[in-house]
Structure 1
């Protein structure tokens, strides 16, 4: 071979080596570096199926599930696999137009891409699911049915407490804070109530199943015998302080009324019942018709979404007088023996403020003044509290008085474990300066001593104030959840800490207030709250109700209030009831509270008091205009009929 041919041979060899190196490097790039094509190949060969977990169950204090999970189905679509299907028939089954079909396919492609499944139609009705199940072979492989656990509420009660879940919104998924990083499009999330507060506990963890597909895109079985699958993990269960019998009975007695009931176990802070009237059946916000029911509830004139127990604030009226008395006793400005010479009114502020009593001795001491609900006595206690010389002036005195109320949980959020709680209003120095333009004294807001004026509280705060008196100086933060199954975290620790608020009040001083409240029940305005064999302490209230209509302040019918606790010693229930525009406290608030206390303490209602229960359930205090415009009753009968509710109530009352 000629020496001249050697360079040519090497050139050819180098060309071949270069081509091989180029091919190898390209293969390396495609298979190792660039993942796009491997993902497309996997997507063509494998089916990724999301397994949704069961949300945690919520139980009442007796272990009864107040909600359960039921199975509905979502219709999922993988846009790239939608080929040669009977579009007209699918649209007919789903009751949508062809234009809507095309729009949903486009949205699915935009949100999740062409090869990943997304929700095409969520929470199918049983009828729609039945039709699809029979004919799914006509729509595969592009469409599939995926099981979706949804909430169902056996008792149809506790909507404001339990809350509801719905599909996570695009705005949540786009949140840059990372709060919703664990969620994907199509996931459900707790929106209100306990579902919201304990979302991370209840939600569980999604599972993923990988299936192998054949050349016709039909699932053939698990990939690698399930080696890459992850199992769905169910959410943890919640155990509540709630007594569902009490809740159902309270909601029944508040039907046709606007107002609230809050009942608390003073020894733990656990909430036994929380009613906001009017309320709604929580089943309305679960399942296929959730959206249309939501719109109807949102527009209803009775504002059923508004949780009056924690979001509404009212003048407490005479129910505040025990607090006025305790503050004065704790500050040391009076003793239990302090008396006031009221002869029918209070005239020490340059104007005569009439009192409902004028008989001699009706305000001879704290207990007697409490029993007779003497306005003059408690207005004067407020003035003594803020004008005490030891504070160095009324400004400091008002600040000290405000701090006492704040310590008792008034004028601030208590920290209940459902969202939406408001602060209420306690007239601090800033408010006084604003209202009175910097010039004020103890007479400016003397009405707050008897629970009127610049003072509004939530029903939750009123009930918690009763816990303080019942416990003689302390409370636990009101809460629903007592324990979480299989959870060792410190999440609930704050609800187990005792909050002391009246360290300087002697047992004798507390007794003067408590015995006065017992006298209110035995021989005063709350005689209707008596329970045979039980020492009940309480206080009625008739709070003035003013509203601004067309620019004018109009006096409306008074609110009916009652607060109390029982038994007097070793108390087990504290309660606050308010019925708007219902007149005297003894008319509605007292009997409702008494029935609920009797039911909780004795697990029964005496036969002689059954007519009271019937009357409370049948009587309405709503205006005729509000009733005429409201659709709440017809909506509430969609899932649990009136007959079924009657059967449930008879069962509760017959225990």
Structure 2
């Protein structure tokens, strides 16, 4: 017989046993969460990285493709080395790097795979693959890096690299993981969502020792990666390669645009570099070399460099004056060199002659009339009001702010306002004589080479432009490019005013840029020589051709090359000839440009 005390103990033990049995029943029969956890512990998820989309030029020549490489992955718990020296010799890795990489892998996870050696080439993989069987805990993941059949357009196309911590933090969609590759500059960065594709995944069953036991559930849960979308660039590869050849040994920029569409035909930042060196295992080493180069090859001059426009800006001044009714084709001024220096030419000149001869004193006097309207009878106030009104007109030419090209990092240049001069000199303490250098594109005015080329497109189109862009179609569909690239932007200048300006630009070549003249193709252009306090002046030239039916608008900026009619005009003329005729029939001019002795 149970006593009262023993009965209580027996009942308590019985209740505890009942609870434990019930819980065991729930775990084994009703609740499968523990089973699923056990399965996950035995399942290895391997990401299937997609191939990035390819990039072609406007004529369907391949610009960028994918080159397969291999990442050697390690599961730290399974990886043991008895002879570290031999391993390093077989796999061509420094001991210090091996230790650092393995330590990082352990810190990340003992049981999840991490990269031990990244971006092993095809040739290297063929050499080492027979040794992999000797080392447990290692397997290979196939990746791809970019490759370039022609070493051209590096700054426009950009490069890819391993994603960094700030980029991961901005990835709100959670697409990327540590170690993924992402577009870091150029087209690769701007069109990253289109180029990257969609990841897939494969699930492998492994035992507790990490040995592969085959596909999990016969691969029913596996998903295939989806390759990225292909892009057709607006670039003309043949023109790009030739332009880079002409700019060898020089610093500067070349941008050519198809005026009727805003499509960028060539974009050159000199000095150039071979984009193939920013791929593969030596990316970091080569990037550091380029980044420390005093010539700054990674600096994308067409969209980031800002210079005074020089005399090419006189065309903008002429058009604003004509539209405002302040100037007419017959407006005449003397070439008064006491106002500002000029070169020898007939005097006085009308507006046509001022453009043709690039007369500095003419624009000094014309700009004074544009700025000082005698509205308030106060010189300082009039200058302030006139400058701000003039600035509004100038900015409609795509100056003073970024154009919106499909590249990150574009600078907008600077068109000074009255607020700027108030900060510099004090309110009411400056007037026209303070800012007259703006009349000839100097002073505090800055533009980018892309904006210069866009000006040439505006002059060709008689008053409008399309936002310059580098992509013509996405996956073969032209309608998928952003709408802003298909919308006309108007300057507010009546088209009739461009007729005389175009004629004067064509006539100017015989005076300031005789080297640019072509026998069978009429070119309209304007030279510029931008002042450079730090050394030789910069050579500037913009043009469009053929004059009557423009198919190319171009801007060339060669740093420290002196007069615009030499380096810049000669280079532009050769590129126009190459694009329109596909050949060069002026070998002496080509030799002159390649030699590069412009200031001697």
TM-score by length of 2: 0.92
Conservation of the 8 A alpha-carbon contact between 1:256 and 1:622:
no
Whether the aligned pair in 2 keeps the contact of 1:269 and 1:479 (CA below 8 Å) is: yes
CA contact (8 A) 2:474 2:480 kept: no
Tell me, in whole angstroms, the C-alpha distance in 1 between the residues paired with 2:205 and 2:16: 42
The question of 1:595 aligning with 2:595 is answered no
3-state secondary structure, aligned to 1:564: strand
* Aligned-partner Cα distance in 2 for 1:542–1:15: 96
Query: Deviation of residue 29 (structure 1)?
Result: 10
Question: Residues 61-72 of structure 1 correspond to what in structure 2 (within 5 A)?
Answer: 61-72=58-69
Deviation at 1:59, TM superposition (A): 0.8
> Residue in 1 aligned with 2:125?
129
Q: Please, which runs of 5 or more residues in structure 1 have no aligned partner?
A: 548-555, 624-655
Q: Distance in 1 between matches of 2:434 and 2:310?
A: 17
Q: Does 1:117 align with 2:113?
A: yes
1:24 corresponds to: 25
- Alpha-carbon offset, residue 90 of structure 1: 2.2
Please state how far the C-alpha of 1:558 moved relative to its aligned partner. Answer: 1.3
Alpha-carbon RMSD across the aligned residues, in angstroms, is: 2.7
Does the alignment pair 1:569 with 2:556? Answer: no
Question: Do the aligned residues in 2 keep the contact of 1:258 with 1:621 (CA within 8 Å)?
Answer: no
Give 1:315 deviation, angstroms.
1.6
Picking from 40, 43, 51, the partner of 1:42 is: 40
Q: 1:221 to 1:66 in 2, by over 3 A?
A: same
Question: Which residue, 377, 383, 397 being the options, matches 2:368?
Answer: 383
Deviation per CA, 1:336-375, whole angstroms, max 9, x where unpaired? 2211133x42x5xxxx3232235334x1x22121111111
Match of 1:429 among 409, 418, 421: 418
Q: Which residue of 2 is the match for residue 336 of structure 1?
A: 329
Offset at residue 115 of structure 1 (A): 2.0
- Does structure 2 retain, via aligned residues, the 8 Å contact 1:85–1:139? no
Change in Cα spacing, 1:110 to 1:491, as seen in structure 2 (3 Å) is: farther
Question: What's the offset of the Cα at 1:318?
Answer: 1.2
Q: Which residue is equivalent to 2:299?
A: 306
TM superposition shift of 1:585: 1.2
Pairwise CA distance, 1:294: 1.0
3-state SS of 1:397 partner: helix
Give matches, 1:580-619, under 5 Å.
580-606=559-585, 609-619=586-596
1:458 aligns to what? 448
Inter-CA distance 74–299: structure 2 relative to 1 (3 Å threshold)? same
Q: CA 1:9/1:434 → structure 2, altered by over 3 Å: closer, same or farther?
A: closer
Distance 1:371 1:572 in 2: 23
Change (3 A) 1:441 1:11: closer
1:281-360 equivalent positions in 2, closer than 5 A:
281-342=274-335, 344-345=336-337, 347=338, 352-357=339-344, 359-360=346-347
**Aligned equivalents of 2:571, 2:583: Cα separation in 1:** 14
Q: By how many angstroms is 1:426 displaced?
A: 1.3
1:581/1:621 contact within 8 Å kept: no
Match of 1:636 in 2: none
Relative to 1, partners in 2 of residues 1:390 and 1:93: Cα closer, same or farther, differing over 3 Å?
A: farther
Name the residue aligned to 2:525. Answer: 538
The change in CA–CA distance for 1:92 and 1:180 in structure 2 (over 3 A counts) is farther
Match of 1:269 in 2: 262
Over 3 Å counting, the alpha-carbon distance change for 1:165 and 1:495 in structure 2 is: same
Structure 1 residue 543: deviation in Å? Answer: 1.6
Cα offsets for 1:501-557 (capped at 9, x unmatched): 124x251x2111111000012x2111211223211100111121113xxxxxxxx21
Give structure 2 stretches of 5+ with no counterpart: none
Structure 1 CA distance, aligned partners of 2:52 and 2:134?
32
CA distance in 2 between partners of 1:11 and 1:179 (Å): 54
Using the size of structure 1 for normalisation, the TM-score is 0.85
| Bigger mean CA offset, 232-241 vs 213-222 | 213-222
Match of 2:460 in 1: 470
Q: Distance in 2 between matches of 1:357 and 1:425?
A: 31
1:369 aligns with 2:354: yes
- Aligned to 1:515, the other structure's residue is in SS state helix
Residue from 383, 407, 422 that aligns with 1:394? 383
Which of 517, 520, 523 is the equivalent residue of 2:505? 517
Q: Is the 1:118–1:185 contact (alpha carbons within 8 Å) kept by the matching residues of 2? A: no
Q: Could you say which residue in structure 2 is the equivalent of 1:419?
A: 408
Residue number among 558, 567, 591 corresponding to 1:579 in the alignment: 558
Mapped partners of 1:279, 1:589: distance in 2: 17
**Cα separation, 1, equivalents of 2:14 and 2:410:** 82
The CA deviation at 1:313 is 1.3
Contact 1:333 1:388 (8 Å CA) reproduced: no
CA contact (8 A) 2:473 2:479 kept: no
Q: Does residue 403 in structure 1 map to residue 392 in structure 2?
A: yes
Partners in 2 of 1:124 and 1:49 — Cα distance? 18
Cα distance in structure 2, aligned partners of 1:22 and 1:441: 90
Structure 1 residues 452 and 11, CA gap change in structure 2 (3 angstroms)? closer
CA distance in 2, matches of 1:465, 1:145: 53
Whether the 8 Å contact between 1:478 and 1:495 is mirrored in structure 2 is yes
Q: Quote how far apart the aligned CAs of 1:461 are.
A: 0.9
Between the aligned partners of 2:448 and 2:599, the Cα distance in structure 1 is 20
- Deviations along 1:229-288, one digit per CA (max 9) or x if unpaired, are 111111111111100111111111111111111111111111111111111000110112
Instruction: Mark the CA change 1:564 to 1:489 in structure 2 (over 3 Å): closer, same or farther.
Output: closer
| 2:231 matches 1:242 | no
SS at match of 2:115: strand
1:289 aligned counterpart, secondary structure:
helix
* Alpha carbons of structure 1 residues 330 and 179: separation in structure 2 relative to 1, 3 Å: farther
Q: Is the 8 A contact 2:474 2:481 kept in 1?
A: no
Tell me whether 1:483 sits opposite 2:473 in the alignment: yes
1:429 shift after superposition: 0.8
Q: Is the 8 A contact 2:562 2:599 kept in 1?
A: no
Aligned partners of 1:579, 1:194: CA distance in 2, in Å? 24
